[in-house]
Amino acid sequence: MSTAEPPAVHTADALVIGGGPAGLMAAEVLSGAGVAVHLMDAMPSVGRKFLLAGKGGMNLTHGEPLARFVTRYGARQAELAPLLQAFGPEAVRAWAQGLGIDTFVGSSGRVFPTDLKAAPLLRAWLHRLRHPAQGPGVQFHMRHRWQGWGGDAGAPHLCFDTPDGPARWQARAVVLALGGASWARLGSDGAWLPWLQGSGVAVAPLQPSNCGFDLVGGWTPFFAERFAGQPFKSMALRCSDGAGGEFHRKGEFVATATGVEGSLIYAASALLREQINTHGQATLHLDLLPDRSPERVRADVHHPRGARSLSSHLKSRLGLDGIKMALLHEKLTKAELAQPDVLAHAIQNLPLTLAAPRPIDEAISTAGGVALEALDAHGMLRDLPGVFCAGEMLDWEAPTGGYLLTACLATGRRAGEGAVGWIRGVASGG
**Concatenated DSSP letters of 330-370:** HHS-HHHHT-HHHHHHHHHSEEEEEEEEPPGGGSSEEEEEE
SS3 98: helix
CATH classification of 9-207+366-428, choosing from 3.50.50.60, 3.30.470.20, 3.40.50.20, 1.20.1250.20?
A: 3.50.50.60
Strand 165-176 relative to strand 9-17, pairing: parallel
pLDDT above 70 (res 396): yes
pLDDT above 90 (res 428): no
d(CA 137, CA 117) in angstroms, rounded, equals 25
User: Domain spans of the chain?
Assistant: 9-207+366-428, 213-357
Q: Which of 59-68, 151-160, 257-266, 302-311 has the lowest mean pLDDT?
A: 151-160
Question: What is the distance of C-alpha 430 from the center of its chain?
Answer: 37
- pLDDT band for position 183 (50/70/90)? confident
**Cα-Cα end-to-end distance for the chain:** 47
CB proximity list for 166: less than 8 A, separation 6 or greater: 6, 7, 147, 159, 160
Whole-prediction pTM: 0.91
Tell me what the mean pLDDT of segment 270-279 comes to: 96
Vertex 81 angle, CA 36 and 15, to 5°:
15
d(CA 365, CA 376) in angstroms, rounded, equals 24
pLDDT above 80 (res 427): no
Contact assessment for residue 270 and residue 293, using Cβ atoms and an 8 Å cutoff: no
pLDDT (tens digit per residue) in 337-365: 999 999 999 999 999 999 999 999 999 99
Beta strands, E only, 202-325: 203-209, 213-215, 231-240, 246-255, 259-261, 282-287
pLDDT above 80 (res 5): no
Handedness of CA 131, 132, 134, 137 (dihedral sign): negative
SS3 428: helix
Percent of the chain having pLDDT more than 70? 97
Q: How much is the pLDDT for 2?
A: 46
pLDDT above 50 (res 8): yes
